[in-house]
Amino acid sequence: MKTKIITLTIVFFVIVAFAQSQTRQSNTVQQKLVSENTIYQLFPTQNFWTFIKLDTRNGKMWQVHFTVSDDGLRGEFILNILPLVTKDKEVNGRFTLYPTENIYNFLLLDQIDGKIYQVQWSMESENRGVIPIE
């Protein structure tokens, strides 16, 4: 009797673990489909009030601030206004951002030609920008 209970318990845990794994995989696939077909995406930073808005076709980016108070900082600030590819090479989902361990830096990947750029956001405009990594 104990053997049957132990066997049923093990089978139950295996089924639950498999179901959770399948859910995570389907969420990842769904997120990937959305990101490949979208023009704009928001990427969270480690700062609660700051996101990066990316035009996935051409690499243009803005730093987005929001606030819950009337006197707080709210708006979009330019990180990169110049497209990184010509108009004829724009493709939805071409560019994507990857966070780094540094709160102010991301890596921007051109998923077609493999070029990588360092993206730095800041509250101070002179410290914002995009630098190609050669």
Q: How far apart are CA 47 and CA 105, in angstroms?
A: 12
Are residues 64 and 75 part of one domain?
A: yes
DSSP 70: T
Among 115, 74, 35, 84, CA closest to 63:
74
Residue whose token pair is 């093990």: 10
Are residues 50 and 28 part of one domain?
A: no
Are residues 89 and 30 part of one domain?
A: no
pTM given for the model: 0.72
Are residues 4 and 64 part of one domain?
A: no
Residue whose token pair is 């050669």: 134
pLDDT digits (tens, 9 = 90+) for 48-82: 999 999 999 999 999 999 988 888 788 999 999 99
Q: Report how many domains make up the chain.
A: 2
Are residues 101 and 61 part of one domain?
A: yes
Domain range enclosing 126: 39-133
CA angle 127, 47, 63 (to 5 degrees): 50
Are residues 129 and 68 part of one domain?
A: yes
Which secondary structure element, helix H or strand E, spans residue 28, and what is its range?
helix 2-37
14 vs 114, which has greater pLDDT? 114
Are residues 85 and 33 part of one domain?
A: no
Are residues 48 and 32 part of one domain?
A: no
Are residues 89 and 27 part of one domain?
A: no
pLDDT digits (tens, 9 = 90+) for 123-132: 999 999 999 9
Are residues 119 and 58 part of one domain?
A: yes
